[in-house]
A and B are shown apart, each in its own frame.
Chain A
């Protein structure tokens, strides 16, 4: 087990806490939606396991994982962008 990965894991926990310490409540939903899109990186996990899949069961489940992950990442970023379009300042 590579301890470097654990080290990075611990640091990432603290960065995650620090980076959003002051958020106005109007941005809670978009922020949740944006981070929701970021964990869509699971798509790559799906791609990696499906790339090496040999058995039919593994292929099927990997295929489903790729669909799910892809919907998460693309849908996530798009829905966040649509929410945030609404925060444009109106020209007077």
Chain B
């Protein structure tokens, strides 16, 4: 490798690192994305073969025509996907792009592995097999995650002995991998391993519930990063090693951060379908005794809101389902005009994706300095006059604080129950994703406003405007 190429690769690596760094802060995030994209462009324009030849100065063969056509097709697919997707469906789109990247990583490694007349070390063979395995697992797993978030098969699919079966498949895959690495390429063994890896990706994601998909996508994202890094080793491309590794390690950390926000160990997400794990659900209901919920009518709720000084809105998945973010913004503006201080309390895992609520509210033009994180809002909750809970459930359940037998005990929550009055907008008394009773609904200071969130909000806005 000439020193010029080495310098360019260092530059590319620095652009990626700065890009990720800037992405981690709200003010600079968009710039960070552009910096990383610039790094990618530099890497493309200066792409060299492992032998040191400049890729774009070779004679224009049929292969180059195919490269141009393929890149163009991918560009069109990517652009259509990125610009046509609804804000609520962003997570799926990320899963899909991630799956495609994993598929590409697997194909590149496979092609290198089956190349005839090659002399490779065992180490390089291992990196190729690793990239094939992880890449195809990430491909099929991401497709399943995509379908789950699209609502295709939302329920976790489990059967007895599932983890044992998955373990056996994994063993067979590893056995085939060792055989292929040690004893050379065998087409049948390679194809069987490839297919098993695809199947394993499906089997791994299938039992996991829809609400845990963010963690799964983040994990598969870091997997794809590692597969790309392994590909970089295999075809001796340093930029791929650096980029893939950065994604692999930052993705792993991000996965852990997401799990931490839900107060669940990552193993629990991957191997224990939520709610089915040991006797959880029944703990909650018992000590509620004969308490009943207290409904409220829209006009009274509007009165309470209109004459409050401080209002906190807690959005949840129900707001996303009802597509009510624009009405929420309208309500908040209306209250703002009357001099009411409105803040939004965002739980890290409200919705289906960390940041899900932020994206939705931003789409509705809620200024992001009005959005508060859970840690910032909780200490001020005692001074709040009305806490308006819109389609959130488990993230405001005080059982996480009070009931040791509850499956969500210990999860950090937004302490909505400490506000003077809590108004809960809810379609019915259905349970949240965790499948447990919400103690908040039975508190003395809680009123329930039943109905579709969007319709309820429209009524509230109309009442406020009229008064």
Contact = CB atoms under 8 A, between A and B. Distances in A.
A79 B97 CA distance: 10
B379 to A, nearest CB: 17
Nearest to B30: A84
Contact of A40 (B34, B55, B101): B101
B47 to A, nearest CB: 5
A88 to B, nearest CB: 8
Interface string B231-265: 11101111111111111111111100110010000
Q: How large is the interface on B (under 10, 10 to 19, 20 to 34, 35 or more residues)?
A: 35 or more
A18 B119 CA distance: 38
A68 to B, nearest CB: 4
A28 B355 contact: yes
Most buried by B among A39, A50, A62, A89: A39
Q: Is the interface of A mostly helix, strand, loop or mixed?
A: helix
B254 A31 contact: yes
A47 B55 contact: yes
A85 B87 CA distance: 11
Contacts of B449: none
Given A28-B353, A29-B353, A41-B244, 10 more contacts: A29-B91, A29-B356, A32-B218, A35-B246, A41-B43, A45-B231, A63-B66, A64-B107, A65-B108, A79-B85
The 10 closest A-B pairs by CB, nearest first: A70-B74, A75-B78, A16-B249, A86-B362, A66-B70, A28-B354, A78-B82, A25-B348, A72-B101, A12-B245
Interface of B: 13, 16-17, 19-21, 23-26, 29-30, 32-34, 36-37, 40, 43-44, 47, 49-50, 55, 58, 63-64, 66-67, 69-75, 77-79, 81-83, 85, 87, 90-91, 93-94, 97-98, 100-101, 103-105, 107-108, 110-112, 114-115, 121, 123-124, 214, 217-218, 221, 224-225, 227-229, 231-233, 235-254, 257-258, 261, 346, 348-349, 353-356, 358-359, 362-363, 365-369, 371, 373
